[in-house]
Amino acid sequence: MTTIYGIKNCDTVKKSIKWLEKNNVEFTFHDFRKDGLSPELLNTFVETSSWDVLLNKRSTSFRNLPDDIKNNLTNEVMFNAVIEQPTLLKRPVLMSNAKTLVGFKENEYQENLL
């Protein structure tokens, strides 16, 4: 099963969902704002990807973090910050058949989902 994680009003999430629907890929949508982000789910993301890929350092959420957090990005600090603010993650995060795709790249979706 394919699950897409993100927030409903994110333009990149919308593009991703549109692509999935257009290509008849069955999926479920998990909205971080409505459905939350559990530590177990975040652990799965980190285990199947990396913080370099997952953390959206260009986001407003990241820019608004206190300097003591931004200057001390250990695994534990990042984990706790993302649990508190899931919008720190790049979106969408798509999980399908033990693969994790972060962001929306049409060619990556094509290769891994069709």
Tell which residue, 81, 39, 47, 80, has the closest CA to residue 64.
81
Q: List pLDDT tens digits, range 26-54.
A: 999 999 999 999 999 999 999 999 888 99
**Catalytic residue from among 4, 10, 54, 82:** 10
**Coil, strand, or helix at residue 28?**
strand
The DSSP letter of residue 45 is H
Q: List pLDDT tens digits, range 73-86.
A: 888 989 999 999 99
C-beta separation of 102 from 90 below 8 A: yes
Share the mean pLDDT of the chain: 92
Please identify which residue in the block is written with the tokens 């559990």.
38
Instruction: Tell the CATH superfamily of the 2-113 domain.
Output: Glutaredoxin (3.40.30.10)
Residue 114 has pLDDT above 90, yes or no: no
Identify whether 56 is a catalytic site residue.
no
C-beta separation of 25 from 101 below 8 A: no
| For the chain, domain boundaries | 2-113
Tell me the β-bridge partners of 3: 28, 95
